[in-house]
C-alpha cells in the first residue's frame, strides 16, 4: 500500500476560502504594501477566496486624502489577474484609513472604533490580522500599542493574528529579543513570520519532488551527492531601498532567511506530516547540524558591487547609490560554504550565494551528483556531473542533466538535459507567494511560516560569518556589475576543485 503524506493535509484545505475577516495594514503607503501585499489581496479577491465582508484597514502616519487612489493604482499595477472593476470596487468599499502616530495611544483607540464599525457594517466578526509592513525598529512600538489597547485579543469567538515581515532582528540576540516582544503581546500560535520564498510554488514542490517520488530519495545523500549549490541572484542594484539595505547586506537580507530555508527543505528528513510542527522539527534538526566547512574565514566571502557597464548601461557603484555613505562596508554579495553534520550529509558542501547586480535574476537549487565509481568508456570528455536543478524562478521548473551517447558509429558521450516546466505541465493558476501566504494567515494555517527557533538557528550560523567579516574588514571584496561575483568566491570553490554554475 502507498502511504501518502499529502493525505495528512485536512480536506478543508481543498476549500481554501477565508471566513469573514479583515487585514490591518501598518505601512500601507510603503513599498512592500504597494508592490506585493495590496496586489495579492486583490488577486485573492479576484479568485473568490476572500469573503464579501473582507476589509482592509490602512494605518498611516500622515493623513493622505489621495490614499484610496494610491491603493487602487498599486493594485492596477501589481495585480497578477486582470482587474475587474466590480471586484475592485467591492474590495475598496471595505477600505478604511486610520491616520495617526504609532507612538500614540489615540491611534489604537481610533483603530479599535474602526474595527468595531467594520464588524457592525460589514460583518468582519472581530477577526483581524495585523500586518506589520513597517521598518523593524517600529515593531516594538506598534506591538506595544496593540497590546495596551487590548487589540491582540478578539474575545472567545474571534481571532487576532500578527504578521511580521523580515528582517527578524539583525543577529541571534536581537531576534530573540524581538520574539520576546512579539510573544509578550500575541500568543505564539497567532504569530506569522513571513519568508516569502516559502510561499513560492517551486519551493513547496521540493517536498513533492523528494517525498512523492521513489526515484530521488535513495540518491539524496552523501553516497551520491557531490555538493549542492543554492543561488539567489538579482541583476538589479538596491534601487531606492538604501534606508533598509545599508547595514543589512546580502547575507542578512537573503542568506539568513530565504537561502537557509531552502537549505533546510533540501536537506531535511521526511516529516511525519506537513503540519507546521512536523516541518519545524525536521528543519530545526538540519539547521542545528549546519556549520561552516573548515574555518569560517575560508568559508565565507562578501563583496560589494563596483560601477561599470551592465546590459548596455553604466551603473553606479554601491557606495555611489543614493543614500549610501561612501565608506559603507555593507555586502551586496555573500557566499557561504556550509556542511551538515548528519549521517545523510556529512562531507557534502552546500554552497550558498546571494547578490545584487549579478549576471541575471535567477534563484535555483542545484544538486550535483558524484561521478559513477567506474566509467567503462575510452573517452568521457563530454561528460559532466549528473545535476538536478530546481529552477525556483524564473522559468519555474526542473532540469536534469545526464550523459548520453552522441549518435554515430563511435561511443562518444555528451551531456543532455530533461526539462520539466510548470508553464507546460500545468494549466492551473499559480499564485504569487504573497497570495498564498496571506491566505494561509487568514485561514490560520502556519506550515509555510518559519518558527522562532528556526530563525534563531539561522542567525547562529550567519552570526559567525558576520563576526569574521567584522574582525577583518579588509576581506570585503568587489565585483563588476553584470558578473557572477568576486574572484574570492570562485577561489573558495576552486580550493575544493569545484566551480560555480553559470545559471
Ligand atoms: C526580499 C529582499 O526578501 O526578496 C529583497 O529583501 C529582494 O532584497 C527580494 O529583492 C527578492 O524577492 P524575489 O521573490 O523577487 O526573489
Calculate how far, in angstroms, residue 445's C-alpha sits from the geometric centre of ligand 1: 23
DSSP letter, residue 149: T
Calculate how far, in angstroms, residue 223's C-alpha sits from the geometric centre of ligand 1: 34
- Which tens digit of pLDDT belongs to each residue from 225-264? 999 999 999 999 998 888 889 999 999 999 999 999 999 9
Is the pLDDT reported for residue 492 higher than 90? yes
- Which tens digit of pLDDT belongs to each residue from 6-52? 444 444 445 689 999 999 999 999 989 999 999 999 999 999 999 99
- Which tens digit of pLDDT belongs to each residue from 321-331? 999 999 999 99
Calculate how far, in angstroms, residue 279's C-alpha sits from the geometric centre of ligand 1: 23
- Which tens digit of pLDDT belongs to each residue from 342-393? 999 999 999 999 999 999 999 999 999 999 999 999 989 889 999 999 999 9
Q: What is the pLDDT of residue 2?
A: 44
Q: What is the pLDDT of residue 3?
A: 45
Q: Which of 48, 29, 34 is nearest to 76 (CA)?
A: 34
By alpha-carbon position, which residue is closest to atom 6 of ligand 1?
A: 253
Q: What is the pLDDT of residue 1?
A: 43
The single residue of 227, 258, 385, 391 carrying the catalytic annotation is 258
Q: pTM of whole model > 0.75? A: yes
Q: What is the pLDDT of residue 240?
A: 84
- Which tens digit of pLDDT belongs to each residue from 181-196? 999 999 999 999 999 9
Q: What grid cell was written down for 394? A: 524564473
By alpha-carbon position, which residue is closest to atom 11 of ligand 1?
A: 234
The answer to whether 258 is a known catalytic residue is yes
Averaged pLDDT for residues 151-169: 94
Averaged pLDDT for residues 452-470: 97
**b vs e for 179-211, b when ≥16 Cβ sit within 10 Å of the residue's Cβ?**
beebbebbeeebbbbbbbbbbbbbbbbbbebbb
Ligand 1 close to Cβ of residue 127 (< 6 A)? no
Averaged pLDDT for residues 100-110: 96
Name the residue of 37, 240, 258, 353 whose CB sits within 8 Å of the most ligand 1 atoms, as the mutation to test its pocket: 258
Ligand 1 close to Cβ of residue 202 (< 6 A)? no
φ, ψ for residue 411, nearest 5 deg: -85, 75
Q: What is the pLDDT of residue 15?
A: 63
- CB contact at 8 A, 274 and 5: yes
Ligand 1 atom at shortest distance from the alpha carbon of 258: 3
Ligand 1 close to Cβ of residue 234 (< 6 A)? yes
Q: In what helix (H) or strand (E) does residue 367 lie, and over which residues does it extend?
A: strand 362-369
Helix segments in 129-259, DSSP class H: 139-148, 172-185, 201-211, 242-245, 249-250
Residue tagged 495579492 (cell numbers): 40
Q: What is the pLDDT of residue 61?
A: 87
Residue 287 CA, distance from chain mean position = 16
Is the pLDDT reported for residue 484 higher than 90? yes
Helix segments in 199-292, DSSP class H: 201-211, 242-245, 249-250, 260-267, 276-289
Averaged pLDDT for residues 70-94: 96
The rounded distance, in Å, linking the Cα atoms of 280 and 265 is 10
Q: What is the pLDDT of residue 118?
A: 97
Residue 221 CA, distance from chain mean position = 25
Helix segments in 8-104, DSSP class H: 31-32, 38-46, 67-78, 85-93
Name the residue of 167, 170, 234, 364 whose CB sits within 8 Å of the most ligand 1 atoms, as the mutation to test its pocket: 234
Amino acid at each position: 500500500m502507498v502511504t501518502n503524506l499529502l493525505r495528512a493535509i485536512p480536506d478543508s484545505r481543498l476549500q481554501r476560502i477565508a471566513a469573514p475577516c479583515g487585514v490591518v495594514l501598518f505601512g500601507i503607503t510603503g513599498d512592500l504594501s504597494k508592490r506585493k501585499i495590496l496586489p495579492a489581496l486583490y488577486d485573492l479577491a479576484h479568485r473568490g477566496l476572500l469573503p464579501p465582508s473582507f476589509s482592509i484597514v490602512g494605518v498611516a502616519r500622515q493623513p493622505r486624502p489621495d490614499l484610496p487612489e494610491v491603493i487602487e493604482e498599486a493594485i492596477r499595477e501589481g495585480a497578477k489577474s486582470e482587474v475587474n472593476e466590480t471586484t475592485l470596487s467591492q474590495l475598496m468599499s471595505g477600505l478604511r484609513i486610520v491616520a495617526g502616530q504609532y507612538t500614540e495611544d489615540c491611534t489604537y483607540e481610533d483603530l479599535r472604533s474602526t474595527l468595531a464599525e467594520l464588524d457592525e457594517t460589514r460583518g468582519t466578526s472581530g477577526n483581524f490580522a495585523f500586518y506589520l509592513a513597517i521598518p523593524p525598529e517600529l515593531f516594538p512600538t506598534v506591538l506595544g500599542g496593540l497590546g495596551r489597547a487590548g487589540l491582540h485579543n478578539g474575545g472567545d469567538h474571534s481571532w487576532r493574528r500578527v504578521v511580521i515581515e523580515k528582517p527578524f532582528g539583525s543577529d541571534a540576540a536581537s531576534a530573540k529579543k524581538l520574539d520576546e516582544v512579539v510573544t509578550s503581546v500575541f500568543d505564539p500560535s497567532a504569530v506569522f513570520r513571513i519568508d516569502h520564498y516559502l510561499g513560492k510554488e517551486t519551493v513547496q514542490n521540493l517536498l513533492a519532488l523528494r517525498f512523492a517520488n521513489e526515484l530521488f530519495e535513495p540518491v539524496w545523500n552523501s553516497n551520491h551527492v557531490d555538493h549542492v549549490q543554492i543561488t539567489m541572484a538579482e541583476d538589479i542594484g538596491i534601487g531606492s531601498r538604501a534606508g533598509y539595505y545599508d547595514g543589512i547586506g546580502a547575507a542578512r537580507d537573503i542568506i539568513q532567511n530565504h537561502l537557509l530555508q531552502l537549505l533546510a527543505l533540501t536537506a531535511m528528513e521526511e516529516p511525519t506530516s506537513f503540519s507546521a510542527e512536523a516541518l519545524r522539527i525536521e528543519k530545526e534538526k538540519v539547521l542545528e547540524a549546519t556549520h561552516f566547512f573548515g574555518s569560517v574565514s575560508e568559508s565565507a566571502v562578501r563583496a560589494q558591487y563596483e560601477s561599470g557597464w551592465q546590459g548596455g548601461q553604466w551603473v553606479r557603484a554601491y557606495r555611489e547609490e543614493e543614500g549610501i555613505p561612501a565608506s559603507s562596508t555593507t555586502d551586496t554579495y555573500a557566499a557561504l560554504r556550509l556542511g551538515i553534520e548528519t549521517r545523510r550529509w556529512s562531507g557534502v558542501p552546500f554552497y550558498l550565494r546571494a547578490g545584487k547586480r549579478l549576471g541575471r535574476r535567477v534563484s535555483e537549487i542545484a544538486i550535483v551528483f558524484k561521478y559513477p565509481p567506474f566509467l567503462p568508456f575510452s573517452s568521457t570528455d563530454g561528460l559532466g556531473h549528473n545535476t538536478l536543478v530546481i529552477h525556483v524562478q524564473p522559468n519555474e521548473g526542473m532540469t536534469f542533466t545526464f550523459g548520453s551517447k552522441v549518435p554515430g558509429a563511435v561511443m562518444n558521450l555528451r551531456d543532455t538535459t530533461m526539462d520539466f516546466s510548470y508553464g507546460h505541465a500545468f494549466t492551473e493558476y499559480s499564485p504569487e507567494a504573497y497570495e498564498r501566504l496571506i491566505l494561509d494567515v487568514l485561514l490560520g494555517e502556519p506550515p509555510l511560516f518559519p518558527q522562532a527557533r528556526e530563525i534563531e538557528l539561522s542567525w547562529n550560523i550567519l552570526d559567525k560569518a558576520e563576526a569574521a567579516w567584522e574582525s577583518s574588514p579588509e576581506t570585503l571584496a568587489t565585483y563588476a556589475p553584470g558578473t557572477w561575483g568576486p574572484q574570492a568566491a570562485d577561489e573558495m570553490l576552486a580550493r575544493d576543485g569545484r566551480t560555480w554554475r553559470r545559471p
